[in-house]
Amino acid sequence: MGRVRLNRRRRIPRRLRSLRIGPPRTAAARRACFELRWRLLRAPWGRPRGSERDAVEGAAVQIAVWVAPGKPVAVGRVHRLGTEEARIRYMCVEPQWRGFGVGAALLAALERCARADGARHIVLDARAGALRFYARHGYRDAGPARTLFGTIRHRRMVKTL
């Protein structure tokens, strides 16, 4: 998909300035994406490996931001819900890469994938710490969503493309 434009508020080491964004191209790269999803979104709550996947993986498009081949620093997934609606799930960014614009670039790529597939609306469930991020990118709060693992509250966020 291309290069990532980074936010220059923080100093980025020269060797890491050429991040790429796109889908995993190999089985090893796909495994690295699942590992990142598990490590950031499931392991902190004691969830087993495999809980970072669901039944629609085969129909979804996974996009990652790559610092090197096979080394994602951010990942997210989009899949169709209906004729005009798509859903973003499993979006996460390595903590040391937050604040550089990596998440914004990933979100834009996921939205482009949804738009190219004919979606006119996107929905996602956001944790409390991510609500401002999504609001800055045009999402509006549509009310409460499910509580994950009995403790992690989410809000449903929606955007018209």
pLDDT at 13 over 60: no
Reference 64, options 27, 99, 100, 92; nearest CA is 92
Q: Which of 45-59, 103-117, 146-160 has the lowest mean pLDDT?
A: 146-160
Lowest mean per-residue pLDDT among 13-17, 29-33, 65-69, 72-76? 13-17
Q: Would the pLDDT of 45 be above 90?
A: no
Q: What is the CATH number of the domain that holds 142?
A: 3.40.630.30
User: Which residues are registered as beta bridge partners of 157?
Assistant: 124, 141
Closest CA relative to residue 161, chosen from 111, 127, 105, 110: 111
Q: How many domains does the chain have?
A: 1
- The pTM for the full model equals 0.87
Which residues does residue 65 pair with via DSSP β-bridges, in sequence order? 21, 74
Q: What residues make up the domain containing 9?
A: 2-160
Of residues 152 and 79, more confidence is placed in 79
